[in-house]
Amino acid sequence: MLKIIVLVKQVPNTTQVKIDPETNNLVREGIPSIVNPFDLYAIEEALLLKEKFGASVTALTMGPPQAREVLKYAMALGVDQGVLLSDRAFAGADTLATSYTLSAGIKKIGIPDIVICGKMAIDGDTAQVPVELAEHLNIGCLTNVSQVLEIKTGKLKAVSTMDFSQLKISVKLPAVLAVNKGINEPRLPMLKDMARASHMKCNTLTVNDLNLDKNRISIAGSPTWVVKVFAPESNRKGRILEGSIDKQVEEVLKVLKEHEAV
């Protein structure tokens, strides 16, 4: 039976995020949160593989205690168990420190056949964690996965969709898969399953439970720093054209010529 770990993340459900002025880190406390939208496709793909091949699926997340809610959502969908990495010692981590900590959590659970991640998180948009995670675990990685074709004889074959091409590519298991939106259609949990999951316990691991180099976690292990956070200024101006169609077309052509667009 396959063993699958699916990574999920709790992200802010608002564009009005708060930033700690001293650390420039995202303040998550008190902000409504959701499951990272890309991770919903990762959860669904894990469940589809479970149904097709037979598998145990564990959801793993790193975050404050309230991040347990995304694990319970995953379990309401059909994931077997949830594991939370939570400790103040993990705070302020960039993608490198985050992927290192996640890799330690995966090693603690036991390296599975497949680790499935969403392509990226909407609160960072870096898409760096899956490939960094594979490097920490010393296993293969497929990115931009839009279809899993087959799993047999210790290998997985998938379609990786790039901007202008598609690749059919095989990877030896164990491996990390970073899946695209559109790889499937995420299911919704039934009310009875949400009620059931609300009573399920999630295993919590702290810094003392993991074999970690403390110089590689949190801010100490983060080589990237947020220097400044600001909203970009917008200086675009709109213009409403009136009159006949011919007059409006004439006006558009005039503006385009002024800006050397035609």
HSE, side-chain direction, 13 A CA sphere, residue 157: 5
| Cα–Cα distances in angstroms (integers) from residue 225 to residues 86, 102, 127, 229, in the given order | 22, 20, 17, 11
In a domain, residue 254? The reply is no
Q: Report pLDDT for 137.
A: 98
In a domain, residue 249? The reply is no
Structural domains of the chain, count: 1
| Cα–Cα distances in angstroms (integers) from residue 205 to residues 33, 212, 218, in the given order | 21, 12, 15
Give the number of other Cβ atoms within 10 Å of residue 169's Cβ. Answer: 14
In a domain, residue 169? The reply is yes
In a domain, residue 84? The reply is yes
Q: What is the CATH number of the domain that holds 117?
A: 3.40.50.620
- Per the structure, the complete domain to which residue 156 belongs is given by 2-216
| pLDDT, one tens digit for every residue, the chain (262 residues) | 899 999 999 998 866 566 666 666 666 666 778 999 999 999 999 999 999 999 999 999 999 999 999 999 999 999 999 999 999 999 989 999 999 999 999 999 999 999 999 999 998 889 999 999 999 999 999 999 999 999 999 999 999 998 889 999 999 999 999 999 999 999 999 999 999 999 999 999 999 999 999 999 999 999 987 777 666 777 777 888 889 999 999 999 988 888 776 5
In a domain, residue 233? The reply is no
In a domain, residue 129? The reply is yes
In a domain, residue 76? The reply is yes
